[in-house]
Structure 1
Amino acid sequence: MNHMPRWYTDQQLPADGTVVHVDGLTVAGPDGTLLLENGGLELRAGRVVALTGPSGAGKTTLLRAVAGVLPSGARRIGGTVDVLGHDPFALPDDKLRGLRRHRLAYVGQDPGSGLNPRLKVRRLIAEVAANRSPEALTALLGEVRLPTDGDLADRRPGSLSGGQQRRVALARALARHPAVLLLDEPTAGLDPHLRDEIGELLRHLAERHHIAIALSCHDADLVTRLADDVVKLRPRTGTVPRYVPSPAPARPDISAQPPRLTVTGLTAAFTHRGRRIPALHGIDFDLAAGGSLGVVGASGSGKTTLMRTVVGLHRATSGTVTLNGTALHATAGRRTREQRRRVQLIPQNPLGTLNPGRTVGSAIRRPLALHDRAPRALRDERVLELLDQVGLPADFATRYPHELSGGQRQRASIARAVAAGPDVLVCDEVTSALDAESAEAVMNLLDDLRVRRDLALVLISHDLRLVADRTDTLLVLSEGRAAEHGPTSRLFSHPTHPATAALLGATVPAD
């Protein structure tokens, strides 16, 4: 790897190398609900510590506590936190801002929501950088595996994929030359190759530049290869229901079903300085009622742009999207309410789509009322039923999004989309923030809906095992083009395009 020059050599670290010490930390939400109980963590210069445990165990709360940025209304009710000789909860605001600006960096689980949508990548990095030279910017982009020979530095977050937004956020963190780096699920939503490269980068930063790194992660294989130490958090008894995933239902025979969703010749572009930059090139696919389509490809290949275009959040430049034989308008705002109900998107970063001023129960209740999916007297009961289906306790109906972990927000986002009773459900990396048991339970729920309601399911994921197990057909994207499209089993066993082979770690048979 072409690593940055020696930018992290003078970190003014304590003599014994311990930079963070947390002992017996207990954090409560505004209503007294415990978000973390008796948490502990020790970070040393040059070492990587992984936080593991089921969704809702308190991993994000622990990382945020070290950074001194607990959710609004949350408070420490026990335990100690020491960061580079300071208690972040006792520091005046200006001193805490200085600590976070110069010595400590935190990258949250939904980094895209923290990027100013009006600023270009170049400005986003430069505004926090210790070295603002063009050479330093180029080195940072290359370090996080973003292209340095194109126009990416002059693009805004809205024209980046979820994986690219995540890497821009990481570049911003590295630009500060921190002594402590805190990362909440840093590889969620990244393809396996890029995930391994980011893992290699983190090891390099720890070993060569003596940064103390803590990350939360559900990827057991990555944790094994990356972490020096592992801290496993367990949820407080009774706070998170025990998952008992039921077996996935048998897949229906969809061979005779007419297409429910048809995409023909779909193209899309982004506009930069008055110039149109193509993002999608003539994509075709169809999906029957009860069918499931997997969409895979390297980060930045166009997966999220394709699905946003299908649901009308990104305007197509040509091509058509047809639902049950009726062509849909290119923008969601020009579609009827019924058409919008029938095609629902579960986004990769739910924090940006769940209204921070609404409780979870209110967010789920809204589509029930808007689309008349339940009588008024039964809506509260239906909200609790949906929460239970996605594995969230009933009392989460009164919580706000900032009081939930990333995985819990993802499940709330799924419940809200399902509440609308869609015909087509588009899922963008819906399991990337979930532990394995939670992910299995959620996918079983989606499979059950697909079978019982003839739901057409589109699944965007970098988890190839999940795609292989849960989809009937597969669409492989490469640089905005359809590299391959066909039955999932055939493409996994006999890939014919180099892009597919690269994802699978296979080789394309010679002609």
Structure 2
Amino acid sequence: MAGGFPRTGHHRPGRLREHLLRRPAPAYRRWPSRTGRRVNPLVEVEGLTIEDHAGRTILHEVSFSVGAGEAVGVVGESGSGKTTTALTLLGWVRHGLRVVSGRVRVADAELTGRPEKEARAARGRLVAYVPQSPASALSPLMRVGDQITEILTGMTAAERAARVAETLDLVELPDDEDFRRKFPHQLSGGQQQRLCLALALANRPKVLVLDEPTTGLDVITQAAVLAHLDRIRRDLKVGVILVSHDLALVAAHTDRVVVMYQGRVVEAGFSRSLLARPSHEYTRGLVAAVVDHRALGGSPARAVISAAPDGPPAIGPVSLLAVKDLHASHRTKGRAIVAAEGISFEIRAGECLAIVGQSGSGKTTIARTVVGLHRADHGAVLLDGSPLPPSATARGRDELRRIQYIFQDPFASLNPRRTVGDSIRRPLRVLRGMPEREARAEVARLLERVRIRKDIAAAYPGELSGGECQRVAIARGLASSPDLLVCDEITSALDVSVQASVLELINELRRDLDLALLFISHDLGAVSVVADTIMVVERGRCREYGPAGEVLRTPQDPYTCRLVEAAPSLSEALVASTRPADGAGVAK
């Protein structure tokens, strides 16, 4: 639509709740609760407009409110302004941006225009923030227990110790001394995300701002953490702003939802009714892009390996990649922690094997062993039947080119001092020997394939959103024209529409280039789209191995059943919601 989407969706007569959300400020000052009582909201964002120093509008008259004990979801594609909006609730805007007009109030405290010292005093005590990238938010030099203890104020030593234990238990992390003495790099991605949640909850704030809080969590842990958060906001009357691209999560765990596009609110309403019957074409596009593992229509068309009754299939001579009896461990304080035990699988050209399981199950260790970033205790990794050296530093240029790794955290994997173009151009020059002029043209083509503007090549990773940064990492992985792509949670930071396009792109590459995939993910919806075969691992052991359709529809192992049942489903969230029906409790 020329000129962008209008600020609000089409009004539907008779729907009082949605009509109230579409009224301009100050209509948001008092929101009718589900019980019919009018309440003063904890959070009021009214007519917020933010520009950069070049005068370009980043946010345009954004308005919404959050009541005590209420959760409001903010959804939209990467670059829509979700995170910029969330950060204003902490009285902070990114460098290069400025608030032009509007106001932000949290618990009757005005945060816009306040000195940094006063705004900082409100953070943690009044409002707490959980960032999208836990690895970049945690101090690598501080132990787990110290990071939580440091932010606790006004308590005795005994009270701080009790609060640390209580908070770790709240997010289902161990509260023993061994775990408290670990450093962030010794934790899995899911554990790092839960530690960030613990830091946000430590001072029991009135408002929680969660920016993609489940990105690094497996489905079982995600369900447990969100259940705890639901209980906390109900019992303590904490207001929650949930920034997410996961519409199933938003439908199940929020009361209202705000849909953003290019810095504008295009539609807002109660989560259940809006996502079930979106009125705006942009929202309809987001809902249509959701991949639901429970709607799996059938097994992939490509032939798959049949699982043996007692475990993975025997390794055949025709595989592109074969892993035989892999054993890998991590050593700490003289102890060996087993991460993979007796793992065997094969991947043929053009085939996708997905490895699923909880955080800490050994998925990433297996993947890192394949690319030579972790040395196995014993076992073999073969490429076209030839053993690969266990370390990447001992592998030849062609062996490195043929297997590429896309990491879970794009911010940590991209050099912050190199532009996007430089990061993508390096493998083109080093691994493919491409001339500079040809490499620049190839960078532009790769960016277009992952749906990023060509001018992003001149930007640095710190200037990009989480979703944009992940797409850059995918483009860099494709730059060397690999035969096998190892994808470690590559869709976890992507919004639903971009995720759908990336999954479509991956399937297209598999078909056109016979590209093989080792796909690590906790998103069973994404797995159902790309995987031919699924291997389920728990604590380093293979629990189930077979065709994707069979594993997702009729899992045999109890652990696999738990994973499938815990995976979020938008259709089920809309049907099985226990919230009051539309129209109940509306103030007359």
TM, length-normalised to structure 1: 0.87
Quote how far apart the aligned CAs of 1:450 are: 1.4
- Are positions 1:157 and 2:222 aligned together? no
Count of residues paired in the alignment = 485
Provide closer, same or farther for how the CA distance between residues 368 and 493 of structure 1 changes in structure 2, counting only shifts above 3 A.
Answer: same
Unaligned runs of 5+ in 2: 1-37, 265-281, 290-299, 306-315, 567-588
Q: How many angstroms apart in 2 are the aligned matches of 1:436 and 1:126?
A: 37
Determine the C-alpha separation between the residues in 2 that align with 1:28 and 1:447.
39
Which stretch of the first structure deviates more once superposed, 371-380 or 459-468?
Answer: 371-380
> CA 1:253–1:192 in structure 2 vs 1: closer, same or farther (change >3 Å)?
closer
| Cα separation, 1, equivalents of 2:58 and 2:487 | 28
What residue is the counterpart of 1:146 in the other structure?
173
Q: 1:68, 1:273 → 2: CA distance?
A: 43
2:46 is aligned to: 23
Match of 2:456 in 1: 396
> 1:3 corresponds to which residue?
none
Deviation of 1:262 after TM superposition, in Å, equals: 1.6
Residue 81 to residue 275, structure 1, CA distance change in 2 (3 Å): same
Deviation string 1:276-332 (CA, Å, 9 cap, x unpaired) is 222222211111111100111123212122222322233323222222333233333
By how many angstroms is 1:104 displaced?
2.0
Within 5 Å, give how 1:57-68 maps onto structure 2.
57-68=80-91
Is residue 53–residue 59 contact of structure 1 (8 Å, CA) maintained in 2?
Answer: yes
What's the CA shift for 1:489?
2.7
Amino acid at match of 2:462: H
Matching residue of 1:36: 59
For the pair 1:414 / 2:474, whether they are aligned, the reply is: yes
| Alignment counterpart, residue 164 of structure 2, candidates 124, 137, 141 | 137
Partner of 1:46: 69
C-alpha distance in 2, partners of 1:259/1:30?
Answer: 55
Question: Structure 1 residues 463, 270: CA separation in 2 closer, same or farther (over 3 Å shift)?
Answer: same
What SS is found at the alignment partner of 1:38? strand
Write the deviation string for residues 159-190 of structure 1: whole angstroms up to 9, x where unpaired.
Answer: 32211111111011111221221111112242
Answer whether contact 1:49 1:214 (CA < 8 A) is retained. Answer: yes
Q: Which residue of 1 aligns with 2:530?
A: 470
Equivalent position of 1:193 in the other structure: 220
Q: 1:316 to 1:77 in 2, by over 3 A?
A: farther
* Aligned with 1:366 (options 413, 426, 431): 426
Higher-Rg structure is 2
Where 2:261 maps in the other structure, the secondary structure is coil
One-letter code of the match for 2:372? G
**Does the CA-based 8 Å contact 1:374-1:382 persist in structure 2?**
no
Q: Quote the Cα distance in structure 1 between the aligned partners of 2:396 and 2:53.
A: 40
Letter in 2 for 1:42: S
Name the CA distance, whole Å, in 1 between partners of 2:114 and 2:370.
48
CA contact (8 A) 1:254 1:290 kept: no
Superposed displacement of residue 59, structure 1? 0.7
The 3-state SS of whatever aligns with 1:489 is helix
- Structure 2 equivalent of residue 384 of structure 1: 444
Partner Cα separation in structure 2 for residue 45 and residue 83 of structure 1: 11
What is the root-mean-square deviation in Å for CA atoms of aligned residues?
A: 2.8
After TM superposition, the structure 1 = structure 2 runs for residues 42-191 of structure 1, keeping only pairs within 5 Å, are 42-88=65-111, 90-130=113-153, 133-148=160-175, 151-191=178-218
Provide the secondary structure at the position in 2 that maps to 1:417.
helix
Residue matched to 2:275: none
Distance 2:92 2:385 in 1: 50
Give the drift of 1:67.
Answer: 2.0
Per mean C-alpha deviation after superposition, the further-off stretch among 310-319 and 77-86 is: 77-86
Structure 2 residue corresponding to 1:232, chosen from 259, 262, 268: 259
1:427 alignment counterpart: 487
Deviation digits for residues 467-503 of structure 1, max 9, x if unmatched?
Answer: 1232111110111111122322333344332221222
- Structure 1 Cα separation of the partners of residues 399 and 55 of structure 2: 42
Structure 1, 446-455 or 98-107: larger mean CA deviation: 98-107
CA distance in 2, matches of 1:71, 1:312: 38
Farther-moved stretch of structure 1 (37-46 vs 24-33)? 24-33
TM-score between both structures, scaled by the size of structure 2 = 0.76
Q: Identity over the aligned pairs, expressed in percent? A: 40
> What amino acid is aligned across from residue 359 of structure 1 in structure 2?
T
SS where residue 364 of structure 1 aligns?
A: helix
Q: Quick one: distance in 2 between partners of 1:266 and 1:422? A: 23
